[in-house]
Structure 1
Amino acid sequence: MAMIDTTVGGTDTSSLATAKVQRLSLFVFALFFIFGSLTSLNDILVPKLKSLFDLSYTEAMLVQSAFFFAYFVASIPAGLLIARIGYMKAAVVGLLTMAAGCLLFIPATSSALFPTFLGALFILAVGVTTVQVVANPLLSLLGPSSTAHSRLTLAQGFNSLGTTVAPYIGAILILGALNAVDTSTLSSSELAAFLAEEASVISTTYAGIALIICLVALVVWLQRNQLKSSPKAESHNFLSTLDLLKQPRFALGAACIFLYVGAEVSIGSLMTDYLTLPTTMNLAPELAGKHVAYYWGGAMVGRFIGSALLRRFSPGKLLAFAAT
């Protein structure tokens, strides 16, 4: 199994011209913003699909399960793709896969079947995974290794900017009509028409997102020669990479990320429905969805502050402080 060496053509990218590094950094920050936006939009999609298909909380959370299962499936193939065609072309592949996933919401809406939405989300997440596998190592190369932690944290700040903006806009576009009609007063035919109209809001929103992503992919394609060499690929058996889990610090770090992401995603996904309950804040769905932006906004503030602090303090000390 090929593993990526974070050098381009065997040489560190610090030899790149400063202007080129700045352009590539802006490109990577934009990627972090895009996949952050799409990931947090699931927090708006969960209550929408729960309402449309009358799902339980367990069934509704399959939205996130389908999305994040793609990370498990696609991460290693994405690394192999980068080793074969390079960072920029792999980014284009990831972006176009994301656009394809967004467009699949159109037939999913027509079918009116919940599993088809899950399939569209999985394809979308495969693209997101590919873009993330491109962005993280590429950004670490665009500057001195001593400040890589700071750059990655700053990029996560732009990721959080996307996760903050997207739920607010998504709540307006997707959840706005959930409380406009009392479905208990509708006949069967009226209810079917209402649900079809509500589902079309999802497909229209994601079709617009697909158009934006395609435009970004075009820009990236035109800049594909900014890095003319591909990262080196070192041959490893996949099972041998699992030996990393025998290292306690690596294994515990992976477990921490697993638990952290699970908690972070679950809170954001269930927040909208929780805030609409009469026993909590009894908010309208659109307003409750907007409150998700405050949750992710807190992460954004913390990451921008963390980026600055990492230039003054060691990552280990900051991690220990944040964990206490």
Structure 2
Amino acid sequence: MSATYRPALTLLASLFFIWGFITVINNTLLPHLRSVFDLDYTQTTLIESTWFIAYFFASIPSAKLIERVGYKRSMVIGLGIMALGALGMAPAALLPSYGVTLVALFVIASGITLLQVAANPYVAVVGPAETSDSRLNLVQAFNSLGTTLAPLFGGYLILGRSKSGTEMAGAAHLTPAERLADAHSVVLPYLIVAAVLVALAIVIARFRLPEMGSANRRSSAEERRGQSLWKHRNLVFGVPAIFIYLIAEIGVANLFINFVSQPDIGNLTHEQASHYLFLLWGGMMVGRFIGSYLMRSIPADRVLACFAVAAFAVMLVATFAHGPVAMWALILVGLCHSIMFPTIFTLGIKGLGPLTEEGSGLLIMAIAGGALVIVQGKIADNFGLQWSFLLTAACELYVLFYALWGSRPTHAEPAPVPVTD
């Protein structure tokens, strides 16, 4: 990592950390809300679908905003939007209201979308092109640090302070008063999150970031005329790769606590299961550090292919095995998923040149694939939770196809040149 960019990338690592942290709080929030509002799996996964629908609607406006005001201001605005949504979780819990909860989470996710559209391509292009895969995996490892710590935070402040979270699966029968008390346990964690977001926005607003200058952006706009994103195979197949991968990642993470809590799997309370969720996300963090190292000497597409094969294998074990074997197989998929998003992203924008920003916007929009976790919820309701993980296994096969063939660039262009504003 060049010394010129190290301070900026170090600060940006905090952005990756915070949006990973907030996203994974949902993994402890969903089983909590399932008990508070007495939801089935379809209704529960609809909450996460609402979160990821925000990526579809907010991605293109985010790209336009970045083009207009630049990366730095967009990051500050994104943090502000996230803080507003986090504050909205307080009235949602105090009422309590399923609808207001959905709106507040949609607002938070819209802010994260803006950060994703700004920060992912920024890290990929601000530095030597030949190390972009390694660089993004390294910074994404701090995103995984956030996702690793979030289950402990949510487990202690949400599940650990609620009756539904401390009872064995199927044992809790909440009275209306207990449901109301459980709902209120959400207020404190999100007030803490809102305060941290505001503080981080102030720090970034005062920090000097090297970015794509306005003159460079105008030059790129001229160069984009007459060029087409659809000539780049790595992007055309990369967009569905992100979309399909997110179905796998989000389905595993959001149904993990309910799965390992089952008597024939882990026989745990939701609070106890959140500690194992810590291991799932911890595996993603470790895997990204390993992947960043491996990609210094091994092509990124080959590393991606190996991880996809491993993910497919452990998902089959999680689907057909029982007891601790099934539980630990599902935990291991975190390690296998670790490099997938950042590697698909950098392979997808490779060679786009002046089309990098638009391509990035499409790839971030594809994160909306996480909304289809509701399909897995429907499968779980109709055929059983464990059988629903066959959908995850199928997703891993498309990632393997992308690694082996779909990621090969066509019509490659030179990358944009970063400057300091």
Q: TM-score, normalised by structure 1?
A: 0.85
Shift of 1:180: 4.7
Q: How does 1:51-200 map to 2 (within 5 A)?
A: 51-176=35-160, 177=162, 178-180=164-166, 184=173, 191-200=175-184
Report the equivalent of 1:264: 249
Shift of 1:203: 1.8
Q: Is the 8 A contact 1:25 1:142 kept in 2?
A: no
Shift of 1:228: 8.8
Distance 2:166 2:304 in 1: 46
Distance 1:246 1:63 in 2: 36
Q: Kindly tell me the number of residue pairs found equivalent between the two proteins.
A: 300
Residue 80 to residue 106, structure 1, CA distance change in 2 (3 Å): same
Q: Is the 8 A contact 1:37 1:162 kept in 2?
A: yes
Distance 1:142 1:249 in 2: 20
Q: How does 1:25-44 map to 2 (within 5 A)?
A: 25-44=9-28
Shift of 1:158: 1.1
Distance 1:137 1:228 in 2: 11
Report the equivalent of 2:8: 24
What secondary structure sits across from 2:263 in the alignment? Answer: coil
Report the equivalent of 1:305: 290
Distance 1:297 1:286 in 2: 17
Report the equivalent of 1:296: 281
Q: Deviations over 1:261-300 (max 9, x none)?
A: 1011011101111122222211011011121111111111
Q: How does 1:237-256 map to 2 (within 5 A)?
A: 244-245=229-230, 248-256=233-241
Q: Is the 8 A contact 1:42 1:63 kept in 2?
A: no
The alignment yields a C-alpha RMSD, in angstroms, of 2.4
Shift of 1:193: 2.6
Shift of 1:24: 0.5
Distance 1:270 1:317 in 2: 30
Report the equivalent of 1:281: 266
Residue 228 to residue 265, structure 1, CA distance change in 2 (3 Å): closer
Give the unaligned 5+ runs of structure 2. Answer: 310-421
Report the equivalent of 2:406: none
Give the alignment partner of residue 317 of structure 1, picking from 302, 311, 314.
302
Is structure 2 residue 170 aligned with structure 1 residue 203?
no
Q: Is the 8 A contact 1:78 1:133 kept in 2?
A: yes
Shift of 1:20: 5.0
Q: Is the 8 A contact 2:32 2:165 kept in 1?
A: no
Residue 313 to residue 205, structure 1, CA distance change in 2 (3 Å): same
What secondary structure sits across from 1:281 in the alignment? Answer: coil
Shift of 1:109: 1.4
Report the equivalent of 1:4: none
Report the equivalent of 1:7: none
Q: Is the 8 A contact 1:140 1:151 kept in 2?
A: yes
Distance 1:80 1:223 in 2: 23
What secondary structure sits across from 1:61 in the alignment? Answer: helix
Residue 121 to residue 226, structure 1, CA distance change in 2 (3 Å): same
